[in-house]
């Protein structure tokens, strides 16, 4: 009989209990023992739920105190030298220091987990001498068995993926590092085998990307070593997020199971299995339920796929599972009481996906007749949403088709626009600004809550927001910033805010997912055709501009970021969704300009997050992503300055696309990667306005003037001072007021030093 499994379960809890525990500990409200107790309670509850749902192979070691990649690094004692660590189990204080930074040491770099909206902490191998500090998969296995009687499936990130995601070593040292790590992995697996573990899931998502021949050789070395060292252990070599490259090489590895993604890697993986077959001696982990999407699966279609796979794999060698970890979706639909029945019935979050997996496993094992009722109910729910009026707005579809058929283009090229913009704005050398948001204090959050509950009327809440704007406009002027922002105090989330004001969006009450650390977001659901209804940002921006003679930027979230940070419909392409968003946002840009706002920032921090993992698909994505941005911003006057912002990513492979967006000024996160992005500009000329973030806003520390001066100096070795802007990495929403003001004062002080130094050469 077939078995059921998942590749991981959300950590955060249905009501974000995990987040609340972490933040209470960081704030000093609970001790470490209480943190441990709370997190164990959450962890066991998640295991208990999977057991009760009927999942056969329940994963462990997918839970984390912050991030699973950081867990792997600290399990091997890989701690950056700037943190106080003398060996042994890594203390929680050091663990969180690496993740979040301390007053004495900068946090480790954070970047996206493949092409998802989850961000992991990048391991720093420089100078590390890896040892096993704790066998975390074993600890998790023992807990599940002792507390709940579960014979679980421990998970560990594979050696090749771990190395590929790490930094701090030269590519020529890869084999040397593999030689250091491999014995540690063997010891972990041997200890698991001695404990009686039956299956271990080794995650190697790097196998869906292009690998060098040397990497294929390393892969063979790794798994042959495991086969010899722990022959009694069943290893599920797990891939996800796309179809595997080098299928034949992977299929030949001496492992007992191979997990393939038949959702996001559907076409490639199915073709590989059809053309090459599947090894008779291996178990297939068939990832057929989408671990990243929130829509109810068409069970008829999934059963048809399983039947197709059964031509190559017998039922006894089949595990029905999620396409990837359920980390990327909310916990349950059951708590959503405000969604329309039509939409709610078409949704499946983590718990509902467990039900789908169990149901499909039952159908394969006991026959389709055993689930006829469920199949019919599923199809009815899917069809009801498909036929809804929200998904069939011909007015929007026709308007977007007409706009997207033309090439979006500004009237003048940048070099000419820059001249007229400088004449209008008369900005100093190295102008300073921020990315947009200012601290959302307890007072701000409380006011919003009172307004949402109806305890404050619109007039009182608007007055409160104006008071916040007044305070921060004055502060920005006192600090000495050149281009100001209104602070975004009326906004909860940079995507949710716009989604609430556009047609075609729906919002959950509890649909939280982890983005990084304790940062949880509640992605909107784009379920219908997107349409502009009325101005969304004009009132607050216009008010802020009336309070100062300095320019105030209008602040929008761009179409690609809204799309990539939302759960999107599956019945039309992502390109079509992007163009609908661009058309709606263009109308907001025009409304801001009509209101006298002459600098408008269209943030696109998530452009690179949507980059396909397959190299051959990337150019097409970037082409329409750039087009969507230009559709949003191309109709403004020559004197109107369009800004944008990007963060969290490496950009060396898309500098050309960034330039093609044709923004007048782009600000890019760089401080957390310790200025490494600057190397891209040492290799590539960039001739438009640019600001490289000079300090990390994710860390509570106040950066010193000298640190920022060094960052500025290095950047200006390769970038034109006349086009260079100085700003923080990202928005300041999550920071405290005092640290924000102190950091910005230091930033302005560093700017003044730089102006004196570089003005003689301009």
* Binding-site residue set: 16-19, 112, 117, 435-437, 488, 519-520, 565, 603, 609, 645, 647, 669, 730
In DSSP notation, 535-575 reads -SSHHHHHHHHTT-SS-BEEEEE-HHHHHHTSEE-SSS-HH
Q: Tell me how far apart the alpha carbons of residues 576 and 460 are, in angstroms, rounded to a whole number.
A: 40
Count how many Cα atoms sit within 13 Å of the Cα of residue 169 in the half-sphere of its side chain: 24
Q: Specify binding-site residues for L-methionine.
A: 435-437, 488, 603
Distance of CA 566 to the CA centre of its chain: 11
Least Cα distance to 433 among 591, 265, 118, 667 occurs for 667
Q: What is the CB neighbour count within 10 angstroms for residue 271?
A: 12
Please state, in angstroms and rounded to a whole number, the distance separating the CA atoms of residues 559 and 582.
Answer: 5
Annotated active-site residue in 68, 119, 418, 698:
698
Host H or E run for residue 69: helix 68-75
Which residues, 6+ apart, have CB-to-CB distance to 54 below 8 Å?
4, 358
Closest alpha carbon to 204 in 155, 171, 252: 155
Instruction: Select from 168, 252, 242 the least CA-distant residue to 204.
Output: 242
Task: Give Cβ neighbours of residue 193 (< 8 Å, ≥ 6 apart).
Answer: 230, 232, 233
- Known binding-site residues for L-homocysteine equal 435-437, 488, 603
Give the number of other Cβ atoms within 10 Å of residue 612's Cβ: 16
Q: Is 679 a catalytic residue?
A: no
Cβ-defined contacts of 338-344 (< 8 Å, 24+): 338/509, 339/506, 339/508, 340/506, 342/384, 342/385, 342/388, 343/385, 343/506, 343/525, 343/527
Nearest to 647 by CA among 435, 433, 485: 435
- Binding-site residue numbers for Zn(2+) are 645, 647, 669, 730
| 82 in Cβ contact with 94 (< 8 Å) | no
Query: Which has the closest alpha carbon to 728: 677, 676, 693?
Result: 693
Binding residues for 5-methyltetrahydropteroyltri-L-glutamate: 16-19, 112, 117, 519-520, 565, 609
Question: How many CA atoms, within 13 angstroms, populate the side-chain half-sphere of residue 624?
Answer: 19
Per DSSP, which regions of 206-248 are E strands? 234-238
Catalytically active residues are: 698
């Amino acid at each position: 009989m077939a078995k059921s499994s998942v590749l991981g379960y959300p950590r955060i809890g249905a009501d974000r209990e995990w987040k609340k525990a972490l933040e209470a500990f960081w704030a000093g409200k609970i001790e470490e023992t209480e943190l441990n107790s709370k997190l164990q309670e959450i962890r066991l509850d998640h295991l208990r739920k999977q057991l009760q749902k009927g999942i056969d192979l329940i994963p462990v070691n997918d839970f984390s105190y912050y991030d699973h990649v950081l867990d792997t690094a600290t399990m091997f004692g890989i701690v950056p030298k700037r943190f106080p660590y003398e060996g042994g189990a890594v203390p929680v204080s050091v663990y969180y220091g690496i993740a979040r930074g301390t007053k004495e040491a900068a946090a480790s770099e954070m970047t996206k987990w493949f092409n998802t909206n989850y961000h992991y902490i990048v391991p720093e191998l420089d100078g590390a001498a890896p040892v096993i500090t704790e066998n975390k998969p074993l600890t998790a296995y023992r807990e599940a068995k002792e507390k709940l009687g579960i014979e679980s499936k421990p998970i560990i990130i594979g050696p090749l993926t771990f190395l590929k995601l790490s930094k701090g070593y030269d590519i020529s040292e890869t084999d040397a590092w593999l030689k250091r790590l491999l014995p540690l992995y063997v010891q972990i697996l041997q200890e698991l085998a001695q404990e009686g573990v039956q299956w271990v899931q080794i995650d190697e998502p790097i196998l869906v990307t292009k690998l060098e021949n040397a990497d294929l050789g390393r892969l063979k070395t790794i798994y042959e070593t495991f086969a010899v060292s722990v022959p009694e252990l069943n290893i599920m070599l797990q891939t996800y997020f796309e179809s595997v490259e080098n299928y034949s090489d992977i299929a030949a590895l001496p492992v007992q199971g191979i997990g393939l993604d038949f959702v996001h890697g559907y076409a490639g993986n199915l073709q590989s299995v059809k053309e090459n077959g599947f090894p008779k001696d291996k178990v297939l982990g068939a990832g057929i339920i989408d671990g990243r999407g929130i829509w109810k699966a068409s069970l008829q279609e999934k059963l048809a796929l399983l039947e197709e796979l059964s031509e190559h794999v017998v039922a006894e060698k089949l595990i029905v599972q999620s396409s990837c970890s359920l980390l990327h979706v909310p916990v349950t639909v059951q708590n959503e009481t405000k969604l329309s029945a039509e939409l709610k019935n078409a949704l499946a979050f983590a718990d509902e996906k467990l039900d789908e997996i169990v149901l499909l496993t039952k159908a394969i094992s006991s026959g389709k007749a055993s689930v006829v009722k469920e199949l019919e109910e599923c199809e009815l729910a899917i069809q009801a949403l498909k036929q809804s009026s929200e998904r069939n707005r011909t007015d929007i579809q026709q308007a977007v088709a007409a706009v997207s058929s033309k090439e979006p283009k500004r009237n003048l090229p940048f070099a000419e626009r820059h001249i007229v913009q400088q004449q209008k704005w008369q900005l100093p050398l190295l102008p300073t600004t921020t990315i947009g948001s200012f601290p959302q204090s307890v007072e701000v959050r409380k006011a919003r809550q009172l307004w949402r509950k109806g305890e404050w009327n619109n007039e009182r809440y608007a007055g409160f927001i104006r008071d916040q704007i007044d305070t921060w406009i004055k502060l920005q002027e006192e600090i000495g910033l050149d281009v100001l922002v209104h602070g975004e105090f009326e906004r909860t989330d940079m995507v949710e805010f716009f989604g609430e004001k556009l047609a075609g969006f729906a919002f959950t009450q509890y649909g939280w997912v982890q983005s990084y650390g304790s940062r949880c977001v509640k992605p909107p659901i784009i379920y219908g055709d997107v349409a502009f209804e009325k101005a969304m940002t004009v009132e607050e921006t216009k008010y802020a501009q009336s309070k100062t003679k300095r320019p105030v930027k209008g602040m929008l979230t761009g179409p690609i970021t809204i799309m990539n940070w939302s759960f999107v419909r599956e019945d039309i392409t992502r390109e079509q969704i992007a163009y609908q968003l661009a058309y709606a946002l263009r109308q907001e840009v025009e409304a801001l300009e009509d209101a006298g706002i002459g600098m408008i920032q269209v943030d696109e921090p998530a452009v690179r997050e949507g980059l396909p993992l397959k190299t051959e698909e990337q150019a097409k994505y970037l082409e329409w992503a750039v087009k969507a941005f230009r559709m949003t911003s191309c109709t403004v006057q020559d004197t109107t300055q369009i800004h944008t912002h990007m963060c969290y990513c490496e950009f060396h492979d898309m500098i050309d696309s960034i330039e093609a967006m044709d923004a007048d000024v782009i600000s890019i996160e760089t401080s957390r990667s310790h200025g490494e992005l600057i190397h891209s500009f040492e290799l590539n000329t960039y001739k438009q306005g640019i600001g490289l973030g000079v300090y990390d806003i994710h860390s509570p520390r106040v950066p010193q003037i000298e640190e920022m001066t060094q960052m500025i100096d290095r950047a200006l070795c390769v970038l034109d001072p006349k086009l260079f802007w100085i700003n923080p990495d990202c928005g300041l929403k999550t920071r405290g007021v005092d640290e924000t003001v102190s950091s910005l004062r230091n930033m302005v002080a560093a700017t003044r030093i730089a102006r004196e130094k570089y003005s003689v050469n301009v």
